[in-house]
Structure formats: structure tokens, C-alpha cells
Amino acid sequence: MILVKQEATNKENSSCIYLIDKKSKSKDFDPQFSHSIAGIIAGTKKFDYLRLSNSFVFFVFDDQKPEELRVIGSRIHDMICADCEVISISGKSKNSCFLAEGIALTNYQFLKYLSKPKKHTLTEIILSDEVEKEKIDELNDTIKAVFWARDAVNTPVSDLNALQLAEAVVKLGEEANFQVQVLEKTQIESLKMGGLLAVNKGSIDPPTFTIAEYKHKKALNKKPIVLVGKGVVYDTGGLSLKPTPGSMDCMKCDMAGAAAVAGALYLAALQKLKLHIIVLIPATDNRPGGNAYTPGDVITMYNGSSVEVLNTDAEGRMILADALSYSMKYDPEIVIDAATLTGSALRAIGTEASIIMGNAKNHYFEELEKAGNEVHERVVRFPFWDDYAKHMESKIADLKNIGGPNAGMISAGKFLEHFLKAPYIHMDVAGPTWLDSREDYKGQGGTGSGVRLLYQFLKNHSS
């Protein structure tokens, strides 16, 4: 794991970054570089560099947006990752942190299945004494939480079934000091969570229902914030089987919502936010095996509603519905779910953002949008008119589990809304949580998207 710190170590291969204020004079720099500074300041580039015998000196203009700095950090990482162990950044507090964040998140690698891994050499980012210690701690915790979520998403179902996902959350709780209770199949049966049990019927692995609770002694919210994450550890589509290429092959990512809410809780607890937060993760794989649930089945859900199954690939809403109904026992201030729920969300806005919708008061949406812009995990609000609920009407049950051909991401949200009576925001994260090919510091494969967004939302909400 890369570490951001302040005191320098004398490791051999090190490079450095100067964050240049336009007002800087060349005399502010090491005399050996000062001759190049004037030229760089006069130029229009966003960053420039000198290549020395076995290291680099980078010059980055300070007057750039946070996201531009993260992306520059990522490009700098690409240039140094083959042989540099340490990079130091001199410059103003906030902006050097954005650069460090971009560099550190780019340093992520998923190597556990490679027999001859080519490891990045970078192990440390050194920031100047001007940067507050708390900021550095927050950055290190953020990196840890995002890497945890990426690892969880990248790990195939052969090594991360529902039980293993639950155990991974238990470990987070032990480290960051929050309570985790894992309900096993017999308990899920006693609770009559029909949606979760139906999806699990084709699997030989049992389902789990994980309940994690973090409560600061001086929590500012009287009622808890409940975060629910879709934990489908693999989605074959079930009997409504998905085609393989470009569709089923990346479906180990179908627990990215669970990874996002667990990662955000982990980070919130490490940072000791003054909040009361509960995370619920219903988890199972979705397979067409043995006694798999079938199109045509009518399922009695945890809250007693009946659902006609018309497509077993619409399984996320089946397991989330039970978790959302279960959340009512906490009398929550707000319930937010994160779920890789629909292909239509991905098609509508691509990997660039998550879609949000719901019935919570406007200020919650504004807070989420603000947090999303701050960390560049953006969200786009979609309509949530009651007209869309009609898409989910069944002739023989209270609801059916698929809507019409259009606006599938919204009708899915309306289906979920049926199962709770509390202010609610549904977040479809199918787009940004997985990347088929690499995009700067977000990497390739699991991005950990949602962790920084939800943490920033929680942090802003607690101050």
C-alpha cells in the first residue's frame, strides 16, 4: 500500500513535484532548476517536467481544478511508476493533496492471481510540512477504503461468495471499530426474506444479510442514516441467462454497490465522523442451478407484498427490496441504496456518473450532488414521477419485477420505493463502478466508485 506522509526517507529513486504559483519567481526554486522555470511559467502547459539521470522534476501549475490535479497526478504516476520509489510534492496544502490522491489511486494494482507480477515501485508520497496532519490521515484512509472496494469488486466469485463478502465486512468492523452482524440462511428464512431467498434458490452457496452499525458517542443525527448495498456476488442472469461476451463476463462487479457502502462506512468510522450510520448488505449469487427461481414465480417478500417474477435477471431489486423493508425497523432519517441495478443506467449516461432518484427532500439530493462534484464521482438526478410506478403493475401480484422497454432505471427505482416508508434515494451505480478499459486514476476493472462520494456526503452532513 502506498503511504502519504511528511517526513522524508532516504530511499534511492525519488522524484519531486513543484506546484507552481504563477507569482513564483525562479529564485524560489532549487538553483539547478531555476533556469527552466521562467520558460515553464511563460508557457501554457498544465504541467511540465525535466528528466534527470534517474528521476524527474515536475512543475505543475497551481491554478487548476481539483480534478485536473488528480488527473495530472495520474499522468505523473505513469511516467514514474517503473522505477521511482518516492515522490515528494512541495506546494500549497489543498492542491498537493489532490495531486497526491491522483498519484496514490493510480498506484493501485490487482496482482493476486499473477505468478510473476510487475509491481509498481512507488511506495511513498511525501507532502510538505504545510499540510495538516489530519488531511494526510484522511487521504491515507481514503486510499485504504477505495483499494478495499476495488479488491472486493475485482475478486471473482470463486474467492468471494456471499459468506466471504460478509466476512470481509466483519474484518473492516474489527479494524475500524464498528459492529457487524451477519445473518445466515436459517435466520434469513425465519425472517421470511422471500426476495433474497428466491434469488439464492439456484445457488449452492447460502445467502447472507450483513448488518453493520457505526455510532459515534456524539452523533449529530438523531435517526440513523441507512445505506443499503446490492451484494450480488455474481449475476449470470439466472434462468433468464445473460449472453457471455460484454455482458456476463464482468458480472463479478454486481456487488459494487455493497463494496461502495461498506467502503464508505469503513472510511467514516476510521475518520470518526460524528454520525450514526447503518449499512445493510443482502448478498447472494444469481444462478440458473437446481431449483432456481423462474419467470412466472410469485414471491412473497419480507414486507408481505407479492412479486411476479418475469425476468430472473432483474434480481437486484428482489434482494434490495427486502433490505429496504428491513431498514424500517431503524426509523431512519434517510435511506440511500447503491446498486449496479440496470444496464439502462449505464446506457443512459455511461461510466461518467451515477444516476440518483427518489422521494427525499431536495436538500439531500443537493448534498449528494455537491459531494459528487467535490470528489468527482458525479451524480445525475432523474425524474421519479408516480407515472413510472405503472410500469411495474402485475395482473396477478402486487408488482412485477420488470417494467416496460423504456426508462428501466426509473421503473426499477419505483419498484424499490414500494418497499419502504422513509425518505429515500436510489443510486444506480452500474456505470462508474466498473471500467472495461483504464481511465486515469480510476484504473481498469473495479473503480471503488461510491466510496469517496458517500463518505464526502456523510462528512458534509456531519459538519
**Closest to 306 in 3D by CA, of 415, 223, 211:** 415
260 binds ligand BES (CB under 6 A): no
Cell numbers representing residue 187 in the block: 435466520
Residue with cell string 455511461:
350
Site string for ligand BES, 105-134 (x = CB under 6 A): ------------------------------
Distance separating alpha carbons of residues 183 and 168, to the nearest angstrom: 14
232 binds Zn ion (CB under 5 A): yes
Distance separating alpha carbons of residues 377 and 76, to the nearest angstrom: 21
Judged by beta carbon, residue 236 or residue 462, the one nearer ligand BES is 236
154 binds ligand BES (CB under 6 A): no
Least separation in angstroms between CB 374 and ligand BES:
25
Would you tell me how many other CB atoms lie within 10 Å of the CB of residue 389? 18
Judged by beta carbon, residue 102 or residue 408, the one nearer ligand BES is 408
- Number of residues this chain uses to bind ligand BES (CB under 6 A): 16
Contact (Cβ atoms closer than 8 angstroms) between residue 448 and residue 441: no
Q: Which span (116-124, 135-143, 310-318, 367-375) binds ligand BES, by CB under 6 A? A: 310-318
Q: Which span (41-49, 50-58, 292-300, 340-348) binds ligand BES, by CB under 6 A? A: 340-348
In terms of Cβ atoms closer than 10 Å to its own Cβ (0-12, 13-18, 19+), residue 82 is exposed
According to DSSP, the residues that pair with 58 across neighbouring strands are 17, 49
What is the SS3 assignment for 415? helix
Among 24, 210, 221, 344, the residue binding ligand BES under the rule CB under 6 A is 344
Looking at 242, 272, 274, 381, which residue is catalytic?
242
CA atoms lying within 13 Å on the CB side of residue 377: 28
342 binds ligand BES (CB under 6 A): yes
Distance separating alpha carbons of residues 122 and 73, to the nearest angstrom: 13
Looking at 201, 317, 442, 459, which residue is catalytic?
317
Judged by beta carbon, residue 130 or residue 393, the one nearer ligand BES is 393
According to DSSP, the residues that pair with 284 across neighbouring strands are 232
Cell numbers representing residue 364 in the block: 439531500
Helix axes 133-154, 256-270, angle to 10 degrees: 160
Q: Which span (39-47, 122-130, 253-261, 358-366) binds Zn ion, by CB under 5 A? A: 253-261
Q: Which span (14-22, 232-240, 411-419, 452-460) binds Zn ion, by CB under 5 A? A: 232-240
Known catalytic residue at 230: no
Distance separating alpha carbons of residues 382 and 384, to the nearest angstrom: 7
Q: Is the dihedral of CA 358, 360, 362, 366 positive or negative?
A: negative
Contacts of 363 (CB under 8 A, 6+ apart): none
Known catalytic residue at 51: no
Among 316, 372, 413, 450, the residue binding Zn ion under the rule CB under 5 A is 316
Site string for ligand BES, 400-439 (x = CB under 6 A): --x-----x---------------------x---------
101 binds ligand BES (CB under 6 A): no
Q: Catalytic residue positions?
A: 242, 317
Which spans of this chain sit near ligand BES (rule: CB under 6 A)? 235, 254, 311, 313-316, 340-344, 346, 402, 408, 430
Which spans of this chain sit near Zn ion (rule: CB under 5 A)? 232, 235, 254, 313, 315-316
